[in-house]
Amino acid sequence: MCYDWIFRYLNNVVPGSSNGGHGYREAVSLTGEPIVEAYDTSSSDVFAMENDECGLSLGSVNITKPMTQAERALVAQGRRLETGKMHQCVCSSNGRAHIINATTQAAGGSLNPATDPKITSKDQTAWWHKGGINSLFGLHNVKCAFHSSGPCLLEDVERGVARSWQTNFSEGYSPLMDNNLMLWTPTLGPLLDLFAQDGVQFYPMRWRARVEGGGVQEVFSVIASPCGKVLIEVAAPDAGGRPKEQFHAMPMARAVLKQWNEPAGQPLVPLRISRAVTPELMQPMLKFYGAKGGDRAARLGFHTQVLLDETGADGTRAVTLKLSASATVHMQLWARPEESQPAPWTPNPIGGFAQDFSDSKTSNQVTGKSLPRAAGFCREGTWSVQRYTWYVLQTHKATLEPPPANASTLTPPAGKDQNVFIDDHVSWDCTSPECEVSAGTRSLYEAGSHITHQKYTPPFSNQSTWWPYSHDPAGYGIELHWFHARPDFQPQGELPQVCFIPYDDGTCPGSRPAATELVEELVVE
């Protein structure tokens, strides 16, 4: 759903465009074999499929072929997912896309030269070798179905969060809407035309942005939800032929247009990632992301500059951060006053809420159901920033390995368990040697963050590295997408399984065996 929305609307932001593709194409490899590859060489598309998506020839798992009888039996037992179509992985449902031309930043040579001639075409290979991969910006939508979501199922959480903007955002702007991604395009005209044609709900805004040289510029933006609790905001200097009175006047800047990912003729570029936080967590978040400087933040690759720290008349505070010299996509933190809410449900009399979350850590989106004592809240509860933050942090605490006593250890716990809120993360890329994984891991532990480690071996390479998946003080996920690690840095224990790849027996991490009667019935059938 998210993926289709992106290709319906964001892939057609250029006036006069009518792109109807799906981000991939059938092609012929360098050795003459038929392949399916991402369409990064399209002459008109803004988006393409991510190059390692399930179903592509370059992907980790090509699962578009029909399932075997044994695989169908595992699906019936709830031990893997149905496959056979693009995006349908064995253990997750993916919809991973990227903006093909998202930045003009020069980043050296390609990180993925695609040297295997059996899985890439001549055009795609040339695009890689010219460094095309350095200009990408990914929008990944992933449902790791066998990952825990706490006492509520993920669909309940997403419906609860989305209640904040139901009925075409008629209740106005709510604090949870601060958790979004902003993209920039020259005009809102084509997007608004499509929204009006299809009846897409959106919230229109106008505001003034700080620009290079100290001036201000009027900007128009619309925020919409492609699916679940995901929000995407698209901003432009042109309202697309609509009168400004149709846009809500916002009292505070929603982005800073200086030291930014300034477009150079591109149809769509990312501007900033926004996070809704509770007021008491603003200072810990600023410290985590390096606004106060310090060695701990520097070990995470944060050499942060505060571009704007603004407080509104109602006490709302927004801080825009440039996380490093080359990070032209900004981080923005919003803290708004909210009314306090009652306890979400009556907790376990022995162990409290912590026990409820612990009891729910094996429940997932395939084999599980909401915790009975929390069921009413899961279906009908009102979600504020405070409630969402509390829920996510409780889920992390219940499902993830706690930080070790020695934050500097070179053999930390691998962190076998995972949850859906770590799946929902930003990737902090850094290719500089200063971004070294053991130092980054130490910094995360010192901040009180939990970590699961993924061992990664790049395609066509014999050298592995580690990618820590963790979270900031408000619980928002962050992945250290780094390529330098000390050889003696070796996390210990069972590694978390990549969510779209099954175990050797075809089952998924977190799945449970079905009843014997069901297995026997399937065998007879």
Instruction: Give the model confidence (pLDDT) of 18-42 as tens digits.
Output: 999 899 999 999 999 999 999 999 9
What tokens were used for 279?
């007021």
Residue 99 falls inside a structural domain: yes
Shared domain for 104 and 194, answered yes or no, is no
Any idea which residue has 């109602």 for tokens? Answer: 314
3-state per-residue secondary structure call for 27-65:
EECCCCCEEEEECCCCCCCCEEECCCCCCCCCCCCCCCC
Could you list the residue range(s) of the whole structural domain that residue 222 is in? 154-335
Shared domain for 86 and 207, answered yes or no, is no
Shared domain for 190 and 49, answered yes or no, is no
Q: How many CA atoms lie within 13 A of 22 on its CB side?
A: 13
Shared domain for 296 and 176, answered yes or no, is yes
> Of 283, 317, 335, which residue constitutes the final position of a domain?
335
Q: Is the pLDDT of residue 50 over 90?
A: yes
CA distance 379 to 388: 14
Which amino acid is residue 356, in one-letter code? D
Shared domain for 202 and 82, answered yes or no, is no
Shared domain for 118 and 243, answered yes or no, is no
CA distance 246 to 239: 10
> Of 335, 354, 369, which residue constitutes the final position of a domain?
335
Shared domain for 139 and 158, answered yes or no, is no
Residue 421 falls inside a structural domain: no
Residue 112 falls inside a structural domain: yes
Poorest-confidence range of 325-334, 390-399, 513-522? 513-522
Residue 371 falls inside a structural domain: no
Shared domain for 213 and 314, answered yes or no, is yes
Which amino acid is residue 460, in one-letter code? F
**Distances from the Cα of 477 to the Cα of 226, 275, 373, 486, angstroms:** 20, 11, 27, 24
pLDDT in tens, 86-103: 999 999 999 999 999 998
Tell me what the pLDDT averaged over the chain comes to.
Answer: 91
Residue 282 falls inside a structural domain: yes
Residue 273 is part of a domain; what is its CATH number?
3.10.180
Shared domain for 50 and 78, answered yes or no, is yes
Shared domain for 282 and 251, answered yes or no, is yes
Sign of CA dihedral 370, 376, 377, 380: positive
| Domains: count for the chain | 2
Beta bridge partners of 330: 272
Shared domain for 107 and 163, answered yes or no, is no
Q: Is the pLDDT of residue 524 over 50?
A: no
CA distance 440 to 299: 5
Q: Which residues contact 73 (CB under 8 A, 6 or more apart)?
A: 519, 522, 523
Q: How far apart are the first and last CA of the chain?
A: 34
Residue 241 falls inside a structural domain: yes
pLDDT in tens, 107-129: 555 556 567 888 899 999 989 88
Give the distance, in angstroms, between the CA of residue 424 and the centroid of all CA atoms in the same chain.
4
Between strands 477-482 and 425-430, the pairing is parallel
Shared domain for 165 and 249, answered yes or no, is yes
3-state per-residue secondary structure call for 280-332:
HHHHHHHHHCCCCCCHHHHHCCCCCEEEEEEECCCCCEEEEEECCCCCCCEEE
pLDDT, residue 110, reads 55
Q: How many CB atoms lie within 10 A of CB 311?
A: 12
How many helices and strands in the chain, by DSSP H and E? Answer: 14, 19
pTM of structure: 0.94
- Collapsing DSSP to helix, strand or coil, 140 comes out as strand
Residue 496 falls inside a structural domain: no
> Of 117, 143, 169, which residue constitutes the final position of a domain?
143
Residue 430 falls inside a structural domain: no
pLDDT in tens, 128-158: 888 888 899 999 999 999 999 999 999 999 9
Any idea which residue has 């820590």 for tokens? Answer: 468
